[in-house]
Structure 1
Amino acid sequence: MCGRFAVTLPPDAMAQLFEAVPANDLPPVPNYNVCPTVQIHTILTDGAARRLTAMRWGFLPHWYKATNGGPLLINARAETIAEKPAFKAACRERRCLIPASGFYEWTKDEDGNRLPWYIQPSGEGPLVFAGVWQDWERDGEAHRTCAIVTCAANDHVSKIHHRMPVILSPEDWAKWLGEDGKGAASLMVPAAEGTLTFHRVDTAVNSNRASGEALIEPID
């Protein structure tokens, strides 16, 4: 799964990287502790242009009567996304890119304490997660919402966790967005070995209130 991540790329750099028109209400960066239900940066296409826009991280199916009207859907499993009622239409019609600098996963020690790890690219550039999105409106309250698509972890990441986000290479962005024909399903696979690295970080990040660059610094 992916339940927490970091983003440090400025919005103007995101707009340039993805050749997208930026919205005026984008979340502030850097954010080293992006948590579910907050607004995050996403890239989608409207058929004429790419848009860099904010969405609520936590997908809201249209039948939810309130934002807390069902389970918090921050991830969508690649293996079942095309069949799940919550996600199947979005998987076909509403896919997006979600940029990140890295993401967190946790292991446990022999006493059951949660030990955080920060996973980041081995090389240059940000990570780009595959996402799906959904507009939701009820009783005058409206949100554009999204979830991160996850898959089985590759061998390297599986040392920490059995799941990981689907990470898209630049040559796959257009296909995932539906700009380059069909075949997006073929992209929902683990990242190639050697493309990610990870290190232990301080347990401060276990709190969703923690902030600052120190959260991603390695510890012994």
Structure 2
Amino acid sequence: MCGRFAVTLPNEAMAQLFNAAPANDLPDVPNFNTCPTTQIHVVEPGARRLLRPMRWGFIPQWYDKPNGGPLLINARAETIAEKPAFRAACRARRCLIPCNGFYEWTKDPDGNRLPWYITRRDGAMMVFAGVWQDWGPDDNRMRTCAMVTIGANTPMRQIHHRMPVILEPENWGKWLGEEGHGAASLMRPSSDDVLQFHRVGTSVNSNRAQGPDLIQEIPAG
């Protein structure tokens, strides 16, 4: 799964990367500790792609308030087409969620949470498969999203048993529905050589922590 991530690429550069029109109310960057329920950068399809903010935390239409049920920040690829919360979005409302890296945690023998920072080996922007849903009354609609996860590949299983579905640039259009059918075939773990990870300090355990020090490598011992 993924519960925190970092975004450091400037908004204009991000829009250029996806050939997307940037919205005027994009979240501030850099953000080294992006947390659930906050606004995040999302790319959605259209006559021209749009880079826009969405609430990270998918809200099904039957929730009577944003916290009217479980917080849905991740959607399992294995069941996304069947779950009532996600099945319509999986067919018709897919999006891209960009970041520079994400965090996962292991535990030491004493139960202390040890954070790791995961990035692409090639240094490129990481792009997660996502789905979105509008929620709320017409005069106060909220666009919300979740990232799609899958069972972890071999290296990632050292840290966590699941990982986000990471899309390569040649598959962005297919996931967005710009190139016809076939998006389901993209819901798979990334190749074992795509990602790298290192231990970071426990400051990131606080959702209020910020700054580039959060992603700095520390000895893993």
How far does residue 49 in structure 1 lie from its aligned partner after superposition?
1.3
Q: Is the 8 A contact 1:65 1:138 kept in 2?
A: no
Q: Indicate the residue corresponding to 1:169 in structure 2.
A: 168
Secondary structure class of the residue paired with 1:133: strand
Query: Which residue does the alignment assign to 1:71?
Result: 70
Instruction: In structure 1, give the amino acid aligned to 2:36.
Output: P
2-structure distance, mates of 1:141, 1:152 = 36
2 CA distance for matches of 1:205 and 1:143?
A: 28
What's the CA shift for 1:139?
Answer: 8.4
For each residue in 1:58-89, what CA deviation from the matched residue of structure 2 results, as whole angstroms up to 9, or x when unmatched? 00000000011000000000000000000000
Q: CA deviation at 1:27?
A: 0.1
Quick one: structure 1 residues 73 and 112, their matched pair in 2 at CA, closer, same or farther if it must change by over 3 Å? same
Q: Name the stretch that deviates more: 130-139 or 203-212.
A: 130-139
**1:1-220 alignment to 2 at 5 Å?**
1-46=1-46, 48-138=47-137, 140-220=139-219
How many Å separate the matches in 2 of 1:140 and 1:45? Answer: 23
Provide the rounded CA distance (Å) in 2 between the counterparts of 1:152 and 1:9. 28
Q: CA deviation at 1:140?
A: 5.0
> Percent identity at matched positions?
68
Query: How far is 1:142 from its partner?
Result: 2.4
User: What's the offset of the Cα at 1:125?
Assistant: 1.3
Distance 2:4 2:123 in 1: 21
Between 76-85 and 134-143, report the one with greater CA deviation. 134-143
The 3-state SS of whatever aligns with 1:42 is strand
Aligned residue identity for 1:9: L
**Letter aligned with residue 209 of structure 1:** R
What's the RMSD between the two structures over aligned residues?
A: 0.9
State TM-score, norm by structure 1: 0.98
Deviation at 1:124, TM superposition (A): 2.8
For the 8 Å contact 1:15–1:22, the answer to whether it is kept is yes
Spell out, residue by residue over 1:118-140, the C-alpha distance to the aligned partner (whole angstroms, 9 max, x if none): 00010131100000000001485
What are the Cα deviations for residues 31-69 of structure 1, in whole angstroms up to 9, with x where unaligned?
0000000000000012x1100000000000000000110
In 1, Cα distance between equivalents of 2:137 and 2:149: 28
Secondary structure at 1:194 match in 2: coil
Whole-Å separation in 1 of the counterparts to 2:73 and 2:156: 20
* Deviation of 1:159 (Å): 0.5
Count of paired positions: 219
Q: Could you list the runs of 4 or more consecutive aligned residues of structure 1 that deviate by over 2 angstroms after TM superposition?
A: 138-142
1:139-192 residue CA offsets vs partner (Å, 9 max, x unmatched): 854210000000010000110000000000000000000000100000000011
Q: Which runs of 5+ in 2 are unaligned?
A: none
CA distance in 2, matches of 1:140, 1:72: 23
Gaps (5+ residues) in structure 1?
none
What SS is found at the alignment partner of 1:150?
strand
| 1:66/1:138 contact within 8 Å kept | no
Q: Give the whole-Å Cα distance in 2 for the aligned partners of 1:32 and 1:149.
A: 21
What secondary structure sits across from 1:90 in the alignment?
Answer: helix
Equivalent pair of 1:130/1:168 in contact (CA under 8 Å): yes
Q: Secondary structure at the residue paired with 2:141?
A: strand
1:128 is matched by which residue type in structure 2?
V
